[in-house]
Amino acid sequence: MRLTRLHIHHLRNLNQVSLNPHSHFNIFWGENGSGKTSLLEAIHLLGVGRSFRSRQIQSIIMHEHNALSCFAEIKDDFGFATSMGIEKNRQAHVTCKIGGEPCERLSQFAGMLPLQLITPETFKLLQLGAEERRRFLDWGVFHVEPSFSDLCQRYQRLLKQRNAALKLASRWSSLASWERELCQIGEKLTHFREAHIASLIPFVEKARQTLLPQQSIGFEYEKGWGRDLSLEEALQQSLAQDKRWGYTSVGPHRAEVAVTLGNFAAHQVLSRGQQKLLICALYLAQAQRLEATLGKKCIFLVDDLASELDKANRERLLGLLAAQGNQVFLTAVDALGWQEVCDQFGGEMFHVEQGLVLEANDSGLVGG
């Protein structure tokens, strides 16, 4: 999948921007506050339906305007072209369109444009709670298993009902009635996740050999209950405790993707830069897995590639991105060295200045 045209309207300091992205590397360079990250934010809105910087739409819409919109022409990996657009206003109303037709479900919209996002905050994937890593894993399962999204929603609903019943002794007799379906769905989710991890590991390992050749990284799914038990058995064993605590303490909602180095969690021993490289390996692997399974290429958004990475590692990462042939949108604070990257791998530089985007080879304004 790649963007062949992008229009942005009233997003942060981007009043009106139109550009024709290159099919490979797109370098947005310019001073702090010029609007580079906002350009990535616009693509992220198209891919995911929300920003990666803020959950508050008010802060993203340009001051003194009521709505923002992003529109893209896209071409899939089989040459099929279509368009997608999203508009959000201050009243929290969202309109999504695919090929000019309104799109009812955000999950359908979000499936269109698979993105991998790498930012200076990326290392948090290893440091924050298990939920972040489950989300990373579920992203991959969601894209290859059409039933996964509905299964997750059903599981969450059943879990909520069970938790509500656990909190009231008068409803304990009803617990058994949720459990059967909860267990069935929980086991199914787990099966999908385990299969996904297993298929991901060879790709992670390949990227790891380039990015962290000295480190041997363990990467393992812990399903959220005792290894040798069925979910039904685990729920039985924890029932007394769950009644005391008023919530379900075992199940795939407690799963973890353990990323380790020897006996330690990876983030306890790796430097920030190494953590970033490891996470890049994970994202590169997700992208390769998606391409191997569905023939779909992800789009990479890389905000401030240079942060935490030395020159040799930046080059290694760029080399991997180049070899994978994805469309990449990168931001940088200056133009230094990027023309060579574009010449070597194919790409285009865009100078961003106070919300305007200028194409390098042509001094005319692309946005106004």
Ligand X SMILES: Nc1ncnc2c1ncn2[C@@H]1O[C@H](COP(=O)(O)OP(=O)(O)O)[C@@H](O)[C@H]1O
Using CB under 5 A, list all residues that contact Mg ion. Answer: 37
Q: Quote the least distance from Cβ 37 to Mg ion, whole Å.
A: 3
Q: Quote the least distance from Cβ 126 to ligand X, whole Å.
A: 24
Q: Give which of ligand X, Mg ion, none residue 34 binds (C-beta under 5 to 8 Å, depending on kind).
A: ligand X
Q: Give which of ligand X, Mg ion, none residue 50 binds (C-beta under 5 to 8 Å, depending on kind).
A: none
Q: Give which of Mg ion, ligand X, none residue 32 binds (C-beta under 5 to 8 Å, depending on kind).
A: ligand X
Nearer to ligand X, 34 or 116 (CB): 34
Encoded amino acid at 312, one letter: A
Nearer to Mg ion, 62 or 270 (CB): 62
- Site string (142-181) toward ligand X, x via CB under 6 A: ----------------------------------------
Q: Quote the least distance from Cβ 5 to ligand X, whole Å.
A: 20
Angle between helices 272-294 and 311-324 (to 10 degrees): 10
| Residue 66 contacts ligand X per CB under 6 A | no
- SS3 (DSSP) at 321: helix
Q: Quote the least distance from Cβ 15 to ligand X, whole Å.
A: 9
DSSP string, 63-120: TT-SEEEEEEEEE-TTS-EEEEEEEEETT--EEEEETTEE-S-HHHHHTTS-EEEE-T
Task: Give Cα separations from 306 to 72, 133, 159, 314, 318 (angstroms).
Answer: 27, 24, 43, 7, 11
Contact yes or no for 136/282 (Cβ under 8 A):
yes
Q: Give which of Mg ion, ligand X, none residue 12 binds (C-beta under 5 to 8 Å, depending on kind).
A: ligand X
Q: Give which of Mg ion, ligand X, none residue 311 binds (C-beta under 5 to 8 Å, depending on kind).
A: none
Of the candidates 62, 266, 305, 309, which one interacts with ligand X according to CB under 6 A?
62
Q: Which residues, numbered 11-50, are part of the site for ligand X (CB under 6 A)?
A: 12-13, 30, 32-38
Nearer to ligand X, 274 or 331 (CB): 331
Other C-beta atoms within 10 Å of 315: how many? Answer: 13
Strand arrangement of the beta sheet that strand 327-332 belongs to: 115-118, 299-302, 327-332, 25-29, 347-353, 356-359
**What whole-number distance in Å separates Cα of residue 45 and Cα of residue 281?**
24
Q: Give which of Mg ion, ligand X, none residue 24 binds (C-beta under 5 to 8 Å, depending on kind).
A: none
| Residue 117 contacts ligand X per CB under 6 A | no
Nearer to Mg ion, 257 or 305 (CB): 305
Of the candidate spans 59-67, 161-169, 217-225, 253-261, the one that interacts with ligand X by CB under 6 A turns out to be: 59-67
- SS3 (DSSP) at 312: helix
Q: Quote the least distance from Cβ 366 to ligand X, whole Å.
A: 16
Which ranges in the chain belong to alpha helices (H)?
36-48, 57-60, 106-110, 124-127, 130-144, 148-166, 175-211, 231-245, 266-269, 272-294, 311-324, 338-345
Q: For the stretch 183-211, what's the b/e string if a residue is b when 16 or more beta carbons lie within 10 angstroms of its beta carbon?
A: bbbbbbbbebbeebbeebbebbeebbebb
The conformation of residue 50, written as its DSSP 8-state character, comes to S
Nearer to Mg ion, 123 or 221 (CB): 123
DSSP H or E stretch at residue 22: none
Q: Give which of Mg ion, ligand X, none residue 38 binds (C-beta under 5 to 8 Å, depending on kind).
A: ligand X
Q: Give which of ligand X, Mg ion, none residue 1 binds (C-beta under 5 to 8 Å, depending on kind).
A: none
Nearer to ligand X, 61 or 298 (CB): 61
Q: Give which of ligand X, Mg ion, none residue 227 binds (C-beta under 5 to 8 Å, depending on kind).
A: none
Which residues are at the interface with ligand X (CB under 6 A)? Answer: 12-13, 30, 32-38, 59, 61-63
